[in-house]
Structure 1
Amino acid sequence: MKSHTNNKVVIIGAGYVGSTTAYTLMQSGLVSEIALIDLDIKKAEGEVMDLNHCLSFTKPMTIKVGTYEDCKDADLIIMTAGPSIQPGGTRLDLAKQNSQIMTSIMKEIVKYTREAIILVATNPVDILTQVAVESVDYNPKKVLGSGTVLDSARFRYLLSQHCKVDARNVHGYILGEHGDSEVAAWSLTNIAGSPLESYCDNCNSNACHGLDKEGILNQVIHAGYHIIDRKVATYYGVSTAIKRITEAILRNEHSILTVSSLLNGEYGIDKIAMSVPTIVSSEGIHKIVELNLTDEESKLLKKSGDKLQEILNYIK
């Protein structure tokens, strides 16, 4: 992997998430080149023009409308292409439609590279991460989804609001499906190293009326729906999560993030892509971290895997 001052990223999809990701990466100074690919070439051209007009305020870089040939020397390919769920549509319909799109995109990518890291952000992200691997037999260590990185950030934010502390001092994970069956790892959640239950017991805040775990998890699960209901799409949060994952890859950080990847027996789950704590590096998936969950958390995680398997069976 090249120095982080000389990295090329290809973004496939110039919609809300793709264009905002390009803007976020441009501001970050992480990359030297961004190629933006979209079936709507005029849309891609407009986004690239707008972004290029910012370059006198940022670190030097190249931003251009790309083609699949740009994948040939890319370090990272970010997938944001595909429609979101529409009114009256179902998750199953979306999974089937976007899995077909993902398969066609992967077939184009492997004409030019099998070395680039693939980061999937299109929903349903766990299903599409698995489709990206299996459709063209891509190295599963080089394919990861944005998973529950954003969900975990939402979880930490809500706990920080409840406990009146900086979100950066709250540590906790949302695991499993990026969706309705995701699991809060309450047993691993801590504030500044203190287990959440201990912290709450010693808080002595008159304003606190107890921790509503179910309510907080429901807010995390439904956050995207609430945002979409109010502003059509969610893109700031996911693009920032993508930037964080990109940073871990391009800087070879070995950071632990809840990205989605194909599990092979970890947590008792096999041949299913889902989110668990993972060491992310320039290799992509460096290592799955198996943490000690409670029996109930393990049961819920396997149940989440079963739900994903049902969707896979449907689209296959």
Structure 2
Amino acid sequence: MNFVTQDKLVIIGAAGMIGSNMAQTAAMMHLTPNICLYDPFAKGLEGVWEEMRHCGFEGLNLTFTSDIAEALRDAKYIVSSGGAPRKEGMTREDLLKGNSEIAAELGRNIKKYCPDVHHVVIIFNPADITGIIALLHSGLKPSQVTTLAGLDSTRLQSELAKHFGVLQHEVTGARTYGGHGEQMAVFGSSVKVDGKPLSELIGTDKLTEEQWAELRQRVVKGGANIIKLRGRSSFQSPAQLSIEMIGAAMGGPAFRWPVGTYVSNDRYDHVMMAWETVLDRNGAHIKPIEHATDEEMKELDASYKHLQDQIDNIIKMGLIPSVDKWSELNPNIK
């Protein structure tokens, strides 16, 4: 059996629906034979391990533990869904305090038990905030910590494909940037539907301005709609995309969507947000966002301001220091 790497992959929160789906997806993608499942819920965790064994994966060295030190020891790749789930009526921001504390502890544990880890993907919400907290406390380089943001772009692709009655892959260039949540910036300028620019379709009888506005709202509320329909938050889609992300970082197929990454440039500073990147064995490296309209950039500016407000909140909570002291906590943050 050929694997992308032999390095140890740790899945945190593996007893949950997202985590258990991540474990199965990683095994099916043959990323590594060495997968360790971690969750404080020991009984449920063992249940996931048992059922994974019943799948009969060849060559898989699947282990499990509720000891975080044991789980992280010698880890080279980590995907964490280990936060509290979002429930009906809650926004991602409602989860801010509790999951921020979990992210801070995770960062400290990474620094203590596996400082040589290659890459970490954070997917528990609000991911833009939990990601930056984990980055600061871990001491890792910004390129080594990413968050799940591509899910918003796949939701945009899905809504457009449904509207136009085409296969999903026939909608290309679907992109959302900025915050992962209700304040995301939905970009249409890069989209093509069956080869035709979306900009030429908006405002016509094929996609009226009103329909486009409604479609964008469905994208923004995509996660809430899953909760409404299924009675629980998304788990299959975040599991799939997060494992595709860590797979790209391991040296597997390229990741096709934006990722949440640390951005500090002349327009946006000291923030983790959905951006266009290259994600590979060398980590996440930002690329220019091309062909954006002035209106789209204004939306991205507003999303950035929302993220800044959230960062100010967690600074007030004492979970991270003020921005001017970030480099003291993590020297890799400039």
Q: SS at the partner of 1:74?
A: coil
> In the superposition, relative to structure 1, how do residues 288 and 130 fare at CA in structure 2: closer, same or farther (>3 Å)?
farther
Tell me the CA shift for residue 22 of structure 1.
Answer: 1.0
Q: Structure 2 CA distance, aligned partners of 1:298 and 1:200? A: 18
Q: SS at the partner of 2:289?
A: coil
**Which residue in 2 is equivalent to 1:299?**
298
1:17-166 superposed matches below 5 A: 17-55=18-56, 58-66=57-65, 67=67, 68-86=69-87, 91-116=92-117, 117-147=119-149, 149-166=150-167
**Which residue in 2 is equivalent to 1:180?**
182
Tell me the CA shift for residue 103 of structure 1.
Answer: 0.8
Q: SS at the partner of 1:289?
A: coil
Q: SS at the partner of 1:218?
A: helix
> In the superposition, relative to structure 1, how do residues 209 and 142 fare at CA in structure 2: closer, same or farther (>3 Å)?
closer
Which stretches in structure 1 are left out of the alignment for 5+ residues?
none
**Which residue in 1 is equivalent to 2:327?**
none
Q: Is the 8 A contact 2:111 2:137 kept in 1?
A: no
Tell me the CA shift for residue 200 of structure 1.
Answer: 7.0
Q: Structure 2 CA distance, aligned partners of 1:302 and 1:59? A: 48
Number of residues paired by the alignment?
307
Q: Structure 2 CA distance, aligned partners of 1:104 and 1:201? A: 49
Tell me the CA shift for residue 74 of structure 1.
Answer: 2.4
Q: SS at the partner of 2:31?
A: coil
Counterpart code for 1:128: T
> In the superposition, relative to structure 1, how do residues 242 and 278 fare at CA in structure 2: closer, same or farther (>3 Å)?
same
TM-score by length of 1: 0.89
> In the superposition, relative to structure 1, how do residues 240 and 254 fare at CA in structure 2: closer, same or farther (>3 Å)?
closer
Tell me the CA shift for residue 92 of structure 1.
Answer: 4.1
**Which residue in 2 is equivalent to 1:241?**
241
Q: Structure 1 CA distance, aligned partners of 2:185 and 2:177? A: 5
Structure 1 stretch 235-244 or stretch 248-257: which is displaced more?
248-257
**Which residue in 2 is equivalent to 1:258?**
258
Q: Is the 8 A contact 2:93 2:126 kept in 1?
A: no
**Which residue in 2 is equivalent to 1:4?**
4
Q: Structure 2 CA distance, aligned partners of 1:28 and 1:213? A: 36
Task: Give yes or no for the alignment of 1:269 onto 2:268.
Answer: yes
TM-score by length of 2: 0.85
> In the superposition, relative to structure 1, how do residues 201 and 166 fare at CA in structure 2: closer, same or farther (>3 Å)?
farther
Q: Is the 8 A contact 2:87 2:233 kept in 1?
A: no
Q: Is the 8 A contact 1:252 1:280 kept in 2?
A: no
> In the superposition, relative to structure 1, how do residues 209 and 10 fare at CA in structure 2: closer, same or farther (>3 Å)?
closer
Counterpart code for 2:107: M
**Which residue in 1 is equivalent to 2:313?**
314
Tell me the CA shift for residue 12 of structure 1.
Answer: 0.8
Q: Structure 1 CA distance, aligned partners of 2:299 and 2:76? A: 36
Q: Is the 8 A contact 1:256 1:277 kept in 2?
A: no
Tell me the CA shift for residue 289 of structure 1.
Answer: 3.3
Tell me the CA shift for residue 275 of structure 1.
Answer: 0.1
Identical aligned residues as a percent: 26
Q: SS at the partner of 1:119?
A: strand
Q: SS at the partner of 1:181?
A: coil
Structure 1 stretch 190-199 or stretch 43-52: which is displaced more?
190-199
Q: Is the 8 A contact 1:279 1:289 kept in 2?
A: no
Q: Is the 8 A contact 2:146 2:260 kept in 1?
A: yes
> In the superposition, relative to structure 1, how do residues 193 and 250 fare at CA in structure 2: closer, same or farther (>3 Å)?
farther
Q: Structure 2 CA distance, aligned partners of 1:294 and 1:209? A: 19
> In the superposition, relative to structure 1, how do residues 306 and 161 fare at CA in structure 2: closer, same or farther (>3 Å)?
same
Q: SS at the partner of 1:187?
A: coil
Q: Structure 2 CA distance, aligned partners of 1:302 and 1:209? A: 26
Encode CA deviations 1:56-112: one digit per residue, 9 max, x unaligned: xx3421222134333233231001011123467664441111010111122112212
